[in-house]
Structure 1
Amino acid sequence: MDTAEPAFEEPIPAVQSDGADESAVTDKSEETSAPAIDELTFDQAYDILGRCVTRHPLNRDVLYDALVYCKEERILRDAENHLAALPAFATATQNQYFLLMSLVKAYGLDYLERDDAGELVTAERKEGLTEDEIDDLVATVSFKTTEVGLEFVEQNKPQARLVSLLQLNPERNDTYREVLEFVDEQPRSYNDVKELLAGRPVLQTIIDGKLETMQPSVFVDKLERAGALVWNNGWTLTREGKEFLIDLKNK
Structure 2
Amino acid sequence: MDTAEPAFEEPIPAAQSDGADESAVTDKSEGTSAPAIDELTFDQAYDILGRCVTRHPLNRDVLYDALVYCKEERILRDAENHLAALPAFATATQNQYFLLMSLVKAYGLDYLERDDAGELVTAERKEGLTEDEIDDLVATVSFKTTEVGLEFVEQNKPQARLVSLLQLNPERNDTYREVLEFVDEQPRSYNDVKELLAGRPVLQTIIDGKLETMQPSVFVDKLERAGALVWNNGWTLTREGKEFLIDLKNK
Q: Normalising by structure 1, report the TM-score.
A: 0.88
Contact kept, 8 Å, 1:24 with 1:135, in 2: the verdict is no
Q: By how many angstroms is 1:32 displaced? A: 10
Contact kept, 8 Å, 1:186 with 1:236, in 2: the verdict is yes
Structure 1 residues 27 and 199, CA, compared in 2 at 3 Å: closer, same or farther?
Answer: closer
Contact kept, 8 Å, 1:26 with 1:32, in 2: the verdict is no
Contact kept, 8 Å, 2:116 with 2:139, in 1: the verdict is yes
Structure 1 residues 8 and 213, CA, compared in 2 at 3 Å: closer, same or farther?
Answer: closer
Q: By how many angstroms is 1:232 displaced? A: 0.2
Q: Deviation string for 1:56-88 (max 9, x for gaps)?
A: 000000000000000000000000000000000
Q: By how many angstroms is 1:39 displaced? A: 1.5
SS at 2:23 equivalent: helix
1:158 aligns with 2:158: yes
SS at 1:153 equivalent: helix
What count of residue pairs does the alignment treat as equivalent? 251
Q: Deviation string for 1:219-240 (max 9, x for gaps)?
A: 0000000000000000000000
Mapped partners of 1:135, 1:18: distance in 2: 35
SS at 1:49 equivalent: helix
Aligned position for 1:36: 36
Mapped partners of 1:39, 1:183: distance in 2: 46
Contact kept, 8 Å, 1:11 with 1:102, in 2: the verdict is no
Contact kept, 8 Å, 1:19 with 1:77, in 2: the verdict is no
Q: By how many angstroms is 1:3 displaced? A: 31
Contact kept, 8 Å, 1:158 with 1:228, in 2: the verdict is yes
Contact kept, 8 Å, 1:229 with 1:235, in 2: the verdict is yes
Structure 1 residues 106 and 187, CA, compared in 2 at 3 Å: closer, same or farther?
Answer: same
Contact kept, 8 Å, 2:24 with 2:102, in 1: the verdict is no
Q: Deviation string for 1:107-130 (max 9, x for gaps)?
A: 000000000000000000000000
Mapped partners of 1:73, 1:94: distance in 2: 22
Structure 1 residues 125 and 244, CA, compared in 2 at 3 Å: closer, same or farther?
Answer: same
Mapped partners of 1:15, 1:127: distance in 2: 36
**Unmatched tracts of structure 2, length 5 or more:** none
Contact kept, 8 Å, 1:70 with 1:144, in 2: the verdict is yes
Q: What percent of counterpart residues are identical?
A: 99
**Unmatched tracts of structure 1, length 5 or more:** none
Q: By how many angstroms is 1:31 displaced? A: 6.1
Structure 1 residues 28 and 12, CA, compared in 2 at 3 Å: closer, same or farther?
Answer: farther
Q: By how many angstroms is 1:180 displaced? A: 0.1
Contact kept, 8 Å, 2:228 with 2:237, in 1: the verdict is yes
Contact kept, 8 Å, 2:165 with 2:226, in 1: the verdict is yes
Contact kept, 8 Å, 1:109 with 1:144, in 2: the verdict is yes
Q: Normalising by structure 2, report the TM-score.
A: 0.88
